[in-house]
């Protein structure tokens, strides 16, 4: 098994194991946008990746309600996945997939919008641009639809005694 693929499998297994016993962080404690996943294959030792969405706000027993991955699955193709880790809430998400050259310049940009029910995911196969050496998956916007519906229902319900 390729060393890079083995490392990705180990990272994914550790993430799933951590998520199994973790509480989902409330939306109010998270930034409105951020990086979900970054992968580089530039051959340069100095490459660095941004911190994942919600990472610095979380305690060790918490997990972000939204996570994602982007990786090269074969020549000319990338696979992007977006996960809803919440057991109760539905989210609408806008994500941006960036494809990067060896100098980490954006050579292709794709935008996607998904509605994710509790504990679901969406995946998308992307055609890689020529010369792609890395990719980023960024969360541009998200909305907790469950909370939004609850607020709308509360506003629509007349209060007693008035």
The model's pLDDT over 86-113, given as tens digits with 9 standing for 90+, comes to 999 999 999 999 999 988 899 999 999 9
CA-to-CA distance for 134 and 148, rounded, in angstroms?
A: 36
Q: What is the pTM of this model?
A: 0.71
Cβ(68)–Cβ(37) below 8 Å: yes
Q: Which residues of 17-32 are buried (b: 16+ CB within 10 A; e: fewer)?
A: eebeebebbebeebee
What is the CATH number assigned to the segment(s) 3-156?
Answer: 2.60.40.3230
Closest alpha carbon to 133 in 98, 158, 87, 160: 98
Q: What kind and span of H or E run contains 10?
A: helix 3-20
């Amino acid at each position: 098994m390729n060393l890079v693929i083995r490392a990705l499998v180990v990272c994914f297994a550790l993430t799933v194991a951590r998520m199994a016993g973790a509480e989902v962080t409330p939306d109010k404690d998270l930034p409105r946008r951020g990086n979900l996943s970054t992968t580089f294959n530039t051959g340069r030792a100095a490459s660095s990746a941004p911190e994942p969405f919600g990472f610095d706000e979380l305690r060790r027993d918490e997990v972000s309600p939204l996570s994602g991955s982007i990786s090269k699955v074969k020549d000319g193709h990338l696979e992007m996945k977006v996960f809803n880790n919440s057991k109760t809430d539905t989210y609408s998400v806008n994500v941006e997939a960036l494809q990067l050259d060896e100098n980490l310049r954006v050579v292709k940009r794709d935008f996607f919008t998904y509605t994710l029910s509790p504990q679901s995911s969406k995946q998308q196969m992307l055609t890689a641009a020529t010369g792609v050496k890395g990719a980023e998956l960024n969360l541009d916007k998200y909305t907790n639809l469950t909370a939004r519906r609850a607020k709308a229902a509360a506003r629509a319900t007349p209060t007693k005694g008035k």
